[in-house]
Structure 1
Amino acid sequence: MDRRRARTREALLSAGRTLFSVRDVDGVSVDEIVAQADVAKGSFYNHFADKDVFAREIVSAVRRQAEQAVDMANEGIEDPAEQFARALCMFVRFAIEHPESARVLWRLHSGATMADAPINRGLRAIVERGIRTQRFKHVDVESGLLLVMGIVVIALRHVLEERLATPASSVATRMAAGMLRALGIAPAQAEKIARAAVGDLLSHSGT
């Protein structure tokens, strides 16, 4: 891809992230996207078949960005409980450091809740390992996966609120501990794991 074409594509994607962070896909027109990107309307269709394809590419890129941060935070961590606590902390941190992208993730995350969806392969593997090793109890793969995704997404959305009554680090600690308890981790251990994850990953994020 030549430089000019690449710049046009990135301008469109950047415009889409901005617009989709405040409105759903149906509430944004192609005309608004190209106006925000400051490119000709025909340029949009040179890069994307339609608005839905465009939106899927944006949310996939944003989710990859967040998941790469989670992967880095979990490098060398083997305990599924620690992995999920640290993942929640990184999504909270993502909301603090990249609020526009986090809002896109929140608004356009529909359709990503199926246990067998390719985009959930990594999360599913952690749930399966936790159940297989009896680290997680009283859940099956689907309910465990939905539990984790639900709590993480709500934590991310809550941190995006402009006026938080409770510091984000405290929210992350409580929600991570609650998530682990729901997965069958003993309360004292869940609290210990959650506090360690927050101390390691959120202590320097202005939270």
Structure 2
Amino acid sequence: MNYIVNPNGVIPAPHPVESIILDDGVPRPEPVETAKPARRKVRTAPRTSRLNPVQLARRVEVGEQRRAKSRSKLMQAAYRLFAVHGAEAPTIDDVIAEAKVARGTFYNHFKSRDELFRAVGNDVSFAINSVISGAIDEMEDPIERIILAFRLFIRFAVSDAARGWILLRTMPLAGPLNAGAKEFIAAEFEAAFGTGRLREMPMAVAIDMGLGMQIMTIHRVLVEKVGNDHIDLAAGEMAVALGLDPAEARTLASIPIEEDDARAAAAQAYSFPVEKG
């Protein structure tokens, strides 16, 4: 048994202690901490769903439909805002307000404003390129195909101002925007160089020249309201810059385009409906 010494005598300690001596020479007890009993962890069985496989599949399907709908609302809102503001690209707050969704919904789909713009631009570009590929499929001369594709792309782009401004915003960020368009352009330029009528240069340089001329021509048409003659002139000079004989370039760039067909194709060059409000 342990004992405690104090001025009144020696008494038993109520529990194990260690004595300490202070400056007055009188020992003082120091309680020894005892270990606390460990708490038992109560394990609960994982909650299982009461839905059968068909119900679970339906829930997933509904969730995907809602996600697709909210993404479409954001893209349509961006499109409408470009139609109203043109070169003044909308902010994320503008898009959220126009789409009538929460900020969290925006970030569930897009990491940034530019990512949203690229998605809309990719959608528009894919639709336009689909129309163009059908228009040039039967042409045998790859250089003639490139020149006509250049002219049609710009005409379709500027036939709707919102479409033109979206492409102006996104093409400098991502070039032709989608993988299909990149493959299409690369194949056409490779075939064109194979004719021996263009001067030798790296493929990337040739593509950059063509896309750069497209971007600047779209901008000039939207801002200065120049007509199709300017588009055709730009197409011819682009071909000359690639090394084509000037006379041949200007002849190919002036081949008439059926305006009725062009307008009909342009009207189809929307990949999603733009709802009002």
The verdict on a shared fold, with TM-score over 0.5 as the criterion, is: yes
Distance 1:190 1:163, change over 3 A: closer
Q: State the match for 2:140 in structure 1.
A: 78
The Cα of 1:54 is off from its aligned counterpart by 2.5
Structure 1 position 59, deviation (Å): 2.1
Let me know the Cα RMSD of the aligned residues: 2.7
Residue of structure 1 equivalent to 2:170: 108
Aligned to 2:91: 28
Provide the residue aligned with 1:144 in structure 2: 206
- Further displaced range: 141-150 or 4-13: 4-13
Cross-structure match for 2:149:
87
Distance 2:261 2:220 in 1: 19
CA distance in 1, matches of 2:110, 2:217: 32
Is the counterpart of residue 12 in structure 1 residue 74 in structure 2? yes
- Of all paired residues, the percent bearing the same amino acid is 27
* Residue in 2 that maps onto 1:181: 240
**Structure 2 residue aligned with 1:191:** 250
CA contact (8 A) 2:217 2:234 kept: yes
Shift, 1:204, TM fit: 6.7
- Pair 183,203 (structure 1): closer, same or farther in 2 beyond 3 Å: farther
> Is the contact between residue 169 and residue 202 of structure 1 (CA under 8 Å) also seen in structure 2?
no
TM-score by length of 2: 0.61
Q: Is the 8 A contact 1:19 1:28 kept in 2?
A: no
Task: Give secondary structure in 2 for the equivalent of 1:155.
Answer: helix
* Inter-partner Cα distance in structure 1 for 2:212 and 2:162: 20
CA separation of 1:153 and 1:67: change in aligned 2, threshold 3 A? same
Letter in 1 for 2:77: A
Tell me whether 1:125 sits opposite 2:193 in the alignment.
no
Q: 1:63 to 1:162 in 2, by over 3 A?
A: same
TM-score of the pair, normalised by structure 1: 0.80
Map 1:20-59 onto structure 2 (within 5 A). Answer: 21-24=86-89, 28-29=91-92, 31-59=93-121
CA displacement at 1:51 relative to structure 2: 3.7
Provide the rounded CA distance (Å) in 1 between the counterparts of 2:254 and 2:96: 45
Gaps of 5+ in 1: none
Aligned length: 196
Greater strand share, structure number: 2
Q: Give the whole-Å Cα distance in 1 for the aligned partners of 2:168 and 2:190.
A: 25
Give the corresponding residue for 2:9: none
Report which structure shows greater RCO (CA 8 Å, sep ≥6). 1
The amino acid of 1:144's aligned partner reads A
Which has more helix, going by share of residues?
1
Three-state SS of the structure 2 residue aligned to 1:142 is: helix
